[in-house]
Structure 1
Amino acid sequence: MIIIGLLASVPFAAWIWWLDKQVVARFEGQKWQVPAEVYSAPTVLRDGSLWRKADLEALLMDVGYRFGRNSEKVGWAARSQTKVSAHLRAYTDHEGYHPAARRVFSFPNGRLQIQDVSGKRYPYATLEPQKIGYLYGGNTENRDILVYEQIPKSLIQILVATEDRDFFEHMGISITGIARAALVNVTSGSRRQGGSTLTQQLIKNMFLSSERTYRRKITEVFMALLLEYRYSKQDIMTAYVNEVYLAQDGSNALHGFAAASQHFFGRPLNELNIDEQALLVGMVKGPSLYNPRRNPERAQQRRNVVLSLLVEQGRLAATDAAVLKKQPLRLADKGRQRSVFGDYLDLVSMQLERDFDQATLATENLRIYTGLDVRAQRAAMAAMHDQVARLTKERQALKGLQGAMVVTDRLSGQVRAVVGSSDEYYSGFNRALGAVRPIGSLAKPPIYLTAIASGRYTWWDRLQDEPKRFRVGQDIWEPQNYSRKTHGEVPLYVALAKSYNLATIDLASELGFDRIAQTLRQLGVKRPFTMYPSVALGSLELSPFEVARLYQPIASTGVSSELGIVLSVMDQEGKVLKRFDRSTDVPFTQAALGVTLAGMTKSPEMGTARAAQAQLPNLRFAAKTGTTNDQRDSWFVGISDDYLATVWLGQDDNRPMSITGSSGAQWVWIDFAKQLPQNSLQRALPEGANYYQVKTDEFKIAADRCDEKVSLPFIEGTQPRESTSCFWPF
């Protein structure tokens, strides 16, 4: 019998040894395959910048700040008729640790003023980066990983009281718990309690299936004992809090209390009230049955049961529990949970695929910080959706109208917003990247830049807006103006502002078409093209993203040339794995670029973008409209002191439309600029350039008393050498 017992113990010992290896491998290796988390840029609130009180309140609510009587607690805000106060959250990114700060915001004359509660002024305040999504997460699991110190102590108490009151005393299994559950089940006549400890639940979730067999239960018991032997209670509690399944969000399973907190309440776990934590803990018993969105009454009843358990165990006063039980379910807006950042995530994926393999992005829980501006993204999406809806309602022939928009920081080139469709939410086809269409008159500013940079032309110089013929192979190409009219001799600034095709092709032919092609490539066109004369009038095909890159050197007057998407990538421990630096090399002087940008401000003043100027009379901006043959594409580029925005509208099947750049895409930009107040372009030019008042009919600097004059930007040395006082002869 002794020999038989020893022989029998060998396979048992081998089995235990194998189980132990399984436990150690999972707990000391990578417990979860978590896709890379993508974050927006922090929202920088600058003292003196344009802000509306309602906009700041909406932003704070959107990113999960709770409004109450005061803002003493982190994550809370308060408001009066003229002010908003908020206790801004702490955060860590690639630039280091940023502590929490309580700030008071006021809005005299529409300008933001930032103070602390003592009245001290501050130059800026920052709202923490927002998580905008995951990369390569597949369609299985979403979770936010916490360490033990980040878990609220109140949540641990509620979890222990509800699921395993002996957790800190037992060694993986609880004999008293099993006995208590058996007694309750026998006396009630039904299975109302289970005997599994938190440790056993964790083992079942991480290692075993949900089948109800004695073999699985025995395995669960021994693995729980091994887990408790190997690891501390803090390690086990941390793993449980991160592992437990709590909800299904479409095709994604939400695991862990941190992810559930963001999903249901739109706030970090440590900012939840006791009743909200009790609601999440109550869902452990039945994630679907007690889902507060699907079954709000059952969820509220279950929450109240959890609160009663806290009272029974002396963890909560009965009077406090009574107050908490009366609280309604305060869930985050479900619409806000739906992705408005899918198009931007496409860009992030595109950039990171060059430096990281897909497996790493899918499993290593990297943190990716981008240049996305949450406020700009929402404004761009709303403008695109609302204006396309308006256009299609007014003109039935435009049914199915689609669009795309790319917004960049004017100076840095960081991409602040991307809209890939006119749909309300992410559609899956990102036209900002995938709609490669002729750019029409958006090709013209690079031609005028070429002329200005050559030193042979100024904005005052004349062009011939007359019919022209070009031989292209065996064919004759005869361009026309959009109006089918000619205008004779016109200045450069008028030709660009009013987008005259014939004057522009006159200039391009004088400069040389090969030189125009060189300028396009120097400004960032990487897509191969053949330089026919028609390219100068917009037969060049680019995506909206590529157009934004083409205009960035002009908009920034040479400060930036490439577009930035990802700022940095960090690992789980906060180590920066990669920073992304961009080239700022532009083969044009800042003076030439500045004079070109200043010339583009004539379009709102007197040209094809006058509608935008009428709608935004106090904003000084540069602009260019674009329309392609048969009105198949509607384009608009708007440049304020803050943003460069590129808008495209068109049909996916490329059929003709009834809108131009002025009547279509321009109105999307107008709506965007109204929703997101922007600063005017400064009149000051880069070093080496200046404004001069010039007579309209002769190349002379005009005195203030002169009637027929225009203010134009010049590269120093190209301005008129003579001046006139405009005295009447006697």
Structure 2
Amino acid sequence: MAKKTPAKSSRKSSKKSKRRAKPSFLKRLCLACLKWLFIVGLLASLPFSLWVWWLNGQVVARFEGQKWQVPSEVYSAPIVLTNGAPWKKQDLEALLEETGYRFGRNSQNVGWAARSSTKVSAHLRSYVDQSGFHDSQRRIFSFQSGHLVIQTLSGDEVTEARIEPQRIGYLYGGNTESRQILTYEEIPKPLIDILIAVEDQDFYQHWGISLTGMARAVVVNLTQGARRQGGSTLTQQLVKNMYLSSERTYTRKLTEVVMSVLLEYHYSKASIITAYMNEVYLAQLGNSALHGFAAASEHFFGRPLNELNIDEMALLVGMVKGPSLYNPERSPVRAKDRRDTVLGVLKSQGRLSAEGYRRSVKQPIRLADKKKQRSVYGDYLDLVALQLSRDFDETTLATQNLRIYTGVDIRAQRTASAAMQRQVGVLEKNDKKLKGLQGAMVVTDRVSGQVRAVVGSSDQYYTGFNRALGAVRPIGSLVKPPLYLSALATGRYTWWTQIDDKRIKFNVGGQIWQPENYDRKVHGVVHLYEAMAKSYNLATVSLAEQIGFDRVGDTLRQLGVKRPFTMHPAVALGSLELSPFEVSRLYQPIASQGKSSELGVVLAVMDQKDRLLKRFDQAKDVPFTDALLAVTLEGMTQTPQIGTARAAQSVFPNLRFAAKTGTTNQQKDSWFVGITGGYSTTVWLGDDDNVPLSITGSSGAQKVWIDFMRGMNPMSLPIILPPGAARFNLVDDEFKLASDRCNNTVSLAFILGTEPKDSRSCLWPF
């Protein structure tokens, strides 16, 4: 009996343990709730996780891909200042100011210049173009008898100095955004410090969001009863600008917060601040939105970002808070107050000394001259787009931010545009019938053939109709130098050869064509140089008949005329229709004396990493000898001396240049070609409706050329002729070389072998 008692007791104890192990209903309910909450939370987090994953893809794709679609930038040629070239001190000072150099007490810093009563010094900027890297240079310029002397600080003379290429515009797509892309190394450190001090003091400590800033914003918004403050970091501002819309909702704010954290997770602070500097919106310029501090610096101050003073940087940073509100062009007082507030923040944080603060707030806001910024390069950009269309598609040019280097000379372009406007205005004022007179001009480098300037109208700014390309008109007497070249090329004619200027008739298609001289007179027997210089039609067409009209046509085509034409007698007097650009190309082989034939516009295309994508080389083959072309050019120097360009010679009595005037039937077109040591220039004036005018080549287009040359300090044509040509003095009444004793002589150029073999001593008999 005693042994059974423990077993019974054990069974009772087991039952009690089972009853105690069974959970209560409340506990079971709690466990069930937790389980379902976990399941629901897990299911709810899945869409959130997918959303975050999708946002992460958006952040990375945009930030590592092409962040911005920036149109290609077009640059001018560097301005080469040559030792010994004709220059005026005031002209060089104006050029430095126009290219963004500022004058101060000294030129120690890059981008600064200084002047005394006789000298100018400048610390020229470094630059990269298709020829390589060009380091910054500090140079001293003095002016001796109207000619430039270039020296180093130690006093050593140098052959040249270069002002960096200037951006003259954009190609395609540039009408919606204006932006310049900077790397982190190119951002001035003071600008970064100012931006962080004003917009996000904890930038280097937070992970994209500032909890204290957000808390402060919540308090302000709750107390104000509306959204008054955002509490955004620089990272959040960047996310908002790059990825999101401007709507003010809590959903968008949550998206902004998540993307900001993701951005900070993937990328460095340097990458984020660089993107911000390039992205920030700072102004609206008509249809174009101005983004980034670099573009804003060029627009508002006309100089690179790294050359701004502290007060100028503070102005730009102050505009971040309200680009329209604090725009210095529209609200200069409000903008200055905002700038001074930023300077006060810098002072309070110890980033600016008390003296620096006092000095900075006293500075007025000095903005760039907007008249200088308005483009005079629209007509030139037409040529750039035309040439590049053969090698680059429009989308690439619109989005890839390529750098396009051209041959445009900013000084020549502005001077040509101003000369055209001035002289057309004077002509219209003097003769009301000339109202609506239009014009075009093409300026090329005489030797290389690079197009230095293009003017497509007489209007102040680009009109969209480029007459330099589109005004195809009869060229009149401009056809004569190529015609006389045809005669010289035969070897049977020289400039001294005589020809009869008499009336002549031609049967053209059953109709009688009888040309006339402009003065309706005949001049008898004249030398070829006289006939061309004085533009005698009758002598010229007689010469064309002697050498053959087809030969003249072949010469025109060999010199570069690509437009189809049918050769007949009237073409020999200028019925051939060409644009000013085509005329300029026609004259280039003559002007260069065989060194170039085609005209060059684009030199090279590079990307933003300084890699050369394409170099453009010009064709230089000319189917005529250098000697023949040089002799032809020499003949054209007689036009200013004895012919229809004497007015130009009187303005520049010491300038040795070649010229040709042209006037078409009923004076519907006024032409002038002028060739100096530096430039070959074609000028056309006319009416778009092709009506008769009261001006000739001499009284119209020549005046534009004179005005242009007054602003360019022209150089004379070189005296030395190429091998195979030489200059001789002849007596004026027979084909003999004149000794030094002879009077009444004429100096003419000859292809060697065609000059006189006999000479006259001019001694008096005893």
TM class, shorter-chain normalised? over 0.9
Task: Give the AA of the match of 2:126.
Answer: A
Aligned residue number for residue 706 of structure 2: 670
Deviation track 1:370-419 (CA, whole Å, cap 9, x = no partner) reads 11111111111111111111111111111111111110000000111111
Aligned residue number for residue 126 of structure 1: 162
**How far 1:214 moved relative to its partner?**
1.5
Please, which moves more after superposition, 308-317 or 351-360?
308-317
Aligned residue number for residue 329 of structure 1: 365
Aligned residue number for residue 537 of structure 1: 573
1:253 aligns with 2:261: no
In 2: Cα distance, 1:651 partner to 1:68 partner: 48
- Classify the secondary structure of the residue corresponding to 1:37: strand
Q: CA 1:70/1:190 → structure 2, altered by over 3 Å: closer, same or farther?
A: farther
Aligned residue number for residue 486 of structure 1: 522
Deviation track 1:489-542 (CA, whole Å, cap 9, x = no partner) reads 111000000000000000111111111111001000011111121111111111
In 1: Cα distance, 2:603 partner to 2:141 partner: 29
- Classify the secondary structure of the residue corresponding to 2:303: coil
Aligned residue number for residue 508 of structure 2: 472
Residue from 636, 655, 668 that aligns with 1:619: 655
Aligned residue number for residue 21 of structure 2: none
Q: Are the equivalent residues in 1 in contact too, given 2:70–2:174 (CA < 8 A)?
A: no
- Classify the secondary structure of the residue corresponding to 2:633: helix
**How far 1:318 moved relative to its partner?**
2.4
**How far 1:683 moved relative to its partner?**
2.0
Q: Are the equivalent residues in 2 in contact too, given 1:340–1:378 (CA < 8 A)?
A: yes
Aligned residue number for residue 350 of structure 1: 386
Aligned residue number for residue 552 of structure 2: 516
Aligned residue number for residue 631 of structure 1: 667
Aligned residue number for residue 70 of structure 2: 34
Aligned residue number for residue 469 of structure 2: 433
Q: How does 1:100-119 map to 2 (within 5 A)?
A: 100-119=136-155
Aligned residue number for residue 409 of structure 1: 445
Q: Are the equivalent residues in 2 in contact too, given 1:88–1:127 (CA < 8 A)?
A: yes
In 1: Cα distance, 2:228 partner to 2:427 partner: 59
Aligned residue number for residue 632 of structure 2: 596
Task: Give the AA of the match of 1:575.
Answer: R
In 1: Cα distance, 2:191 partner to 2:684 partner: 49
Aligned residue number for residue 418 of structure 2: 382
- Classify the secondary structure of the residue corresponding to 2:255: helix
In 2: Cα distance, 1:465 partner to 1:123 partner: 50
- Classify the secondary structure of the residue corresponding to 1:647: strand
Residue from 435, 438, 445 that aligns with 1:399: 435
Identity of aligned residues (%): 69
Q: Are the equivalent residues in 1 in contact too, given 2:729–2:747 (CA < 8 A)?
A: yes
Aligned residue number for residue 306 of structure 1: 342
Q: How does 1:2-13 map to 2 (within 5 A)?
A: 2-13=38-49
Task: Give the AA of the match of 1:281.
Answer: V
Q: Are the equivalent residues in 1 in contact too, given 2:439–2:684 (CA < 8 A)?
A: yes
Task: Give the AA of the match of 1:510.
Answer: Q
Aligned residue number for residue 703 of structure 1: 739
Runs of 4+ in 1 over 6 A off after TM superposition: 184-192
Aligned residue number for residue 212 of structure 1: 248
In 1: Cα distance, 2:530 partner to 2:91 partner: 38
Deviation track 1:124-162 (CA, whole Å, cap 9, x = no partner) reads 111100000100024210101000000011111111111
Q: CA 1:138/1:98 → structure 2, altered by over 3 Å: closer, same or farther?
A: closer
Residue from 681, 684, 701 that aligns with 1:648: 684
**How far 1:691 moved relative to its partner?**
1.1
Residue from 280, 283, 295 that aligns with 2:319: 283
In 2: Cα distance, 1:289 partner to 1:110 partner: 49
Task: Give the AA of the match of 2:619.
Answer: S
Q: How does 1:522-561 map to 2 (within 5 A)?
A: 522-561=558-597
**How far 1:192 moved relative to its partner?**
6.5
Aligned residue number for residue 541 of structure 2: 505
1:68 aligns with 2:104: yes
In 2: Cα distance, 1:183 partner to 1:41 partner: 58
Aligned residue number for residue 455 of structure 2: 419
**How far 1:188 moved relative to its partner?**
9.0
**How far 1:179 moved relative to its partner?**
3.1
Aligned residue number for residue 156 of structure 1: 192
TM-score, structure 1 normalization? 0.98
Q: Are the equivalent residues in 2 in contact too, given 1:41–1:129 (CA < 8 A)?
A: yes
Aligned residue number for residue 296 of structure 1: 332
In 2: Cα distance, 1:259 partner to 1:378 partner: 22
- Classify the secondary structure of the residue corresponding to 1:404: strand
**How far 1:250 moved relative to its partner?**
2.1
**How far 1:184 moved relative to its partner?**
6.4
**How far 1:708 moved relative to its partner?**
3.0
Count of matched residue positions in the alignment of Structure 1 and Structure 2: 730
1:362 aligns with 2:388: no
In 2: Cα distance, 1:126 partner to 1:462 partner: 49
Q: Are the equivalent residues in 2 in contact too, given 1:627–1:633 (CA < 8 A)?
A: yes
Q: CA 1:273/1:180 → structure 2, altered by over 3 Å: closer, same or farther?
A: farther
**How far 1:189 moved relative to its partner?**
9.5
Residue from 249, 271, 274 that aligns with 1:235: 271
1:136 aligns with 2:175: no
**How far 1:94 moved relative to its partner?**
1.3
Q: CA 1:717/1:652 → structure 2, altered by over 3 Å: closer, same or farther?
A: same
In 2: Cα distance, 1:161 partner to 1:192 partner: 21
Aligned residue number for residue 47 of structure 1: 83
In 2: Cα distance, 1:68 partner to 1:333 partner: 18
In 2: Cα distance, 1:55 partner to 1:332 partner: 19
TM-score, structure 2 normalization? 0.94
Please, which moves more after superposition, 672-681 or 175-184?
175-184
Residue from 159, 182, 194 that aligns with 2:230: 194
**How far 1:191 moved relative to its partner?**
7.0
- Classify the secondary structure of the residue corresponding to 1:86: strand
Q: Are the equivalent residues in 2 in contact too, given 1:166–1:177 (CA < 8 A)?
A: no
- Classify the secondary structure of the residue corresponding to 1:623: strand
Task: Give the AA of the match of 2:716.
Answer: S
In 2: Cα distance, 1:445 partner to 1:463 partner: 16
**How far 1:190 moved relative to its partner?**
8.8
Q: Are the equivalent residues in 2 in contact too, given 1:553–1:560 (CA < 8 A)?
A: yes
Aligned residue number for residue 34 of structure 2: none
**How far 1:704 moved relative to its partner?**
2.1
Aligned residue number for residue 97 of structure 1: 133
Q: CA 1:604/1:516 → structure 2, altered by over 3 Å: closer, same or farther?
A: same
Deviation track 1:439-492 (CA, whole Å, cap 9, x = no partner) reads 000000000011111111000111121111111112111111111111111110
Q: CA 1:153/1:193 → structure 2, altered by over 3 Å: closer, same or farther?
A: farther
- Classify the secondary structure of the residue corresponding to 1:107: strand
**How far 1:213 moved relative to its partner?**
1.4
Aligned residue number for residue 340 of structure 1: 376
Aligned residue number for residue 6 of structure 2: none
Residue from 494, 497, 503 that aligns with 1:461: 497
- Classify the secondary structure of the residue corresponding to 1:479: coil
Unaligned 5+ runs, structure 1: none
In 1: Cα distance, 2:53 partner to 2:501 partner: 89
